[in-house]
Amino acid sequence: MSDRVKIELEFPVKASPAMLFPYLSTPSGLSEWFSDDVNSRGDKFTFIWDGDERDAYRIAKKKDQFIRFRWDEDEEEGNKYFFEFRIEVDELTNDTSIIITDHSEEDEVEEDKLLWDSQIHQLLHTIGS
């Protein structure tokens, strides 16, 4: 497998970190916008899209600030790739943003950016932002 490129995307959100964080970190919240269904047992999360399952492990979390996952296949292969949802609040304006960090194959970067854009717009619609 080729090396992946790190991508970071920022999306403004009209919501407090305390209101937003459960949508990024809990199975019920993630299933409202990220995938059709989500199950978890400990740090293992199973994401379900159209009947297909994909496992990821929660590798880091800080309440109301960020959560980081690593896909099962990357965990098994010893890859350090991850995807992360980070909530940042601007100290001057008090505006809230979600920062998405992901790792993509070079020839899939634009496609992955469009996918994240679509996913985050679904989240914003879900929370009424």
Task: Write out pLDDT tens, residues 49-72.
Answer: 999 999 999 999 999 999 999 999
Among residues 60, 61, 57, which one has the least CA distance to residue 77? 57
Instruction: Return left, alpha or beta for 103; rule: phi > 0 is left, psi -120 to 50 is alpha, else beta.
Output: beta
- Kindly report, residue by residue over 1-33, the tens digit of the pLDDT: 458 999 999 999 999 999 999 999 999 999 999
Of 42, 32, 40, 37, residue with least CA distance to 52:
37
Parent domain of 91: 4-127
Look at residue 75 and give its three-state secondary structure: helix
Q: Per the structure, how many domains does the chain have?
A: 1
Structure tokens at 15: 């919501």
Angle between helix axes 17-25 and 109-127 (nearest 10 degrees) is 120
Q: Give the alpha-carbon dihedral of 107, 108, 111, 116, to 10 degrees.
A: -150
Q: Residue 2's pLDDT is what?
A: 58
88: CATH: 3.30.530.20
Q: What angle do CA 11, 61, 116 make, to 5 degrees?
A: 30
Mean pLDDT over the full length of the chain:
95
In this prediction the pTM is 0.92
Residue 3: per-residue pLDDT: 86
Q: What is the β-pairing status of strands 37-41 and 44-49? A: antiparallel
Return the closest-CA partner of residue 56 out of 45, 48, 67, 40: 45
Residue 90 scores a pLDDT above 90? yes
